[in-house]
Structure 1
């Protein structure tokens, strides 16, 4: 981009067209083979980065598009609607937002420009722990400062793409909370360049899951990082985490919507083509109505996705909207996953139709990156002002 005003000239349709230009090169067979072999979509990621899709949330002054989560969500939706998985790219979107909003000027100049140029991959957020789970205040990973360095020790799980990244954002406790009523005080975020660390201090182990998702356990053994690895102010990492997670919720909602559209397209196509007892099965209300109902639910979730994205990009509080959009979109897409499977009958479990692959991939959104029950907890306590239920 030549100047800050150039971002205004990039429309939502242009972002979508740029995404479609990449996704159109990668048919179902590409992802089907990766699913079979457990491979990583290196070719897709390379093409997407060469097209600059990962720079959508990087400010123009650092070489990015200077846009927001609204445009980023269009890209991840399109990846899923085309049959792919946005998780292999979305980390490089919402984590750019964390650095852009809360990082130091040195970090922005040093990291964002390199990411925008495609020289650095920053796509892993290392937060969850075996004994803490969703209760982030109970994490045991610690960071202590000695001289001009920090030393990080602990264990994380579900750190996605950890073996395919150059930098990781790590949440660690740097001090105990001063007020027991504020357990999230004293948590800090660190930007760790894994290319410069002792491999004995940073070890990853892949977690095998039911679909082709590259996620890992990470072991930090007195990991030494420079003092400028700290993002923002010490002890305010949880605030930065929430800001990043709101963007992630919105991107996940868009991925669910993309999946939902994929399921609708496949179900409608098969229902129109499959002829039994002398007519297309789509003429039967028992087949037609579930698809129609699922589509209606998906459109409702989509409306809330846009509202949440617009609020986030205006720097407004959007925790409720982001969480509800994720929950409703995940439920609508899972409803359609089952409808699509049922519409295809026996062929739904046939690998060559790809329904079973997308079915497996979509199921995770009921529990990650936040479970439906935790969203309901949030709504009950923070929106409806009922007593804390957990």
Structure 2
């Protein structure tokens, strides 16, 4: 039973290989799978099952993806094939009807396995992204959009941020206007930035303004509209942003001019997109926080292992309190963040207002993960910059 009290139709199907019980697979899974007694039975089942998939994608796989800027297609295909993309989607559309709490357990475990954000970012949008469609979409839209996403046939990206508009979402400048020659079509014009996975996505969830802000007569949040539509590359240019890290998963700037989007792809009512996007973003922030916690624990695990193995002057460096104390502090910070993330996910599943908690856990988990990764690099000394120890990828 999940925290919603809804019994899932079934756990996602997984290949026979993912359930192998060979000693080597179990040992590798156990290395990063500490017991978490506060989890529900459903969360534990998810955590155990997904870890057995993750062991097939070791550190060397993720290093290769990052070094060669290579999309982790083998990983995403396995996750899709085994049914995990529908973990919190309704059963009637092919999902498993589990909650955000189970999705957080899944994504934290993936990140904690060593894949980090290169792993989670490749499937992140498919897990949470269509929450606005689930809540605000028509029945026809749900049946048209959800099954292909759950099956992995569609890959979605998410476009809200603009070059001149970051957190101030109400000031978005990209527009959608009805075509003067075809009222059943909108023409989208503008730019978006920091849109991840757009090099590979075939669908996009995009927020634009349908009513100019200067003529909105009610709240500034009115006049924004949400569309989920094919990413038409004849009308949309996608330029990748060169980044410091997470090279396996692309991030992009989009420019579009007179991009024709069917009115049937409008999610909810025209002008009511802000409320719809907030519903999805609260889930996204909680999910991202869980991924950050997993990343921090992975870095901490590597640091502790190195501290036990690295001997200086005849003594493991982990025997020194100068090494122990920062790592112990990070464990406390990460565990506190994990507990708060889990609570926020449970609140979301219970239908509680989670705006404050979603923002808080994203901040708390992000800070805890950053410090853990930084301390892991420091604990490794000069080797913290060596790719073979896999902490420099976590840091950047």
- Which TM bucket (shorter chain)? 0.7 to 0.9
User: SS where residue 140 of structure 1 aligns?
Assistant: coil
Structure 1: stretches of 5+ with no match in the other structure = 361-390
User: SS where residue 380 of structure 2 aligns?
Assistant: helix
Contact conserved, 1:18 with 1:51, CA < 8 A, in 2?
A: no
Aligned equivalents of 2:58 and 2:377: distance in 1?
20
Which deviates the most, 89-98 or 40-49? 89-98
- Count of equivalent residues: 353
Equivalent position to 2:126, from 81, 92, 107: 92
Distance 1:295 1:39, change over 3 A: same
Contact conserved, 1:26 with 1:44, CA < 8 A, in 2?
A: yes
Cα distance, 1:179 vs structure 2: 5.1
Q: Does 1:232 align with 2:275?
A: no
Aligned equivalents of 2:225 and 2:88: distance in 1?
22
Equivalence for 2:237 = 203
> Cα deviations across residues 174-217 of structure 1 (Å, max 9, x unaligned)?
113565672221000001112xx3x3311211111011131111
Equivalence for 1:265 = 301
Equivalence for 2:73 = 42
Cα distance, 1:316 vs structure 2: 1.3
Describe how 1:47-62 pairs up with structure 2 within 5 A.
Answer: 47-62=78-93
User: SS where residue 143 of structure 1 aligns?
Assistant: strand
Aligned equivalents of 2:109 and 2:222: distance in 1?
38
Equivalence for 1:184 = 221
Superposition RMSD in Å: 1.6
Cα distance, 1:342 vs structure 2: 0.9
Equivalence for 2:186 = 150
Equivalence for 1:16 = 47
Cα distance, 1:239 vs structure 2: 0.8
Structure 2: stretches of 5+ with no match in the other structure = 12-41
Distance 1:81 1:52, change over 3 A: same
Q: Which has the higher contact order (CA 8 A, sep 6+)?
A: 2
Equivalent position to 1:131, from 159, 164, 167: 164
Cα distance, 1:40 vs structure 2: 0.7
TM-score where L is the length of structure 2: 0.86
Contact conserved, 1:99 with 1:108, CA < 8 A, in 2?
A: yes
> Cα deviations across residues 252-306 of structure 1 (Å, max 9, x unaligned)?
1101110111011111111111111221111111110111111001111111101
Equivalence for 2:319 = 283
Equivalence for 2:24 = none
Aligned equivalents of 2:306 and 2:148: distance in 1?
45
User: SS where residue 14 of structure 1 aligns?
Assistant: helix
TM-score where L is the length of structure 1: 0.87
Cα distance, 1:243 vs structure 2: 1.1
Aligned equivalents of 2:387 and 2:286: distance in 1?
30
> Cα deviations across residues 302-354 of structure 1 (Å, max 9, x unaligned)?
11101110111122111111111111111111111111111100111111111
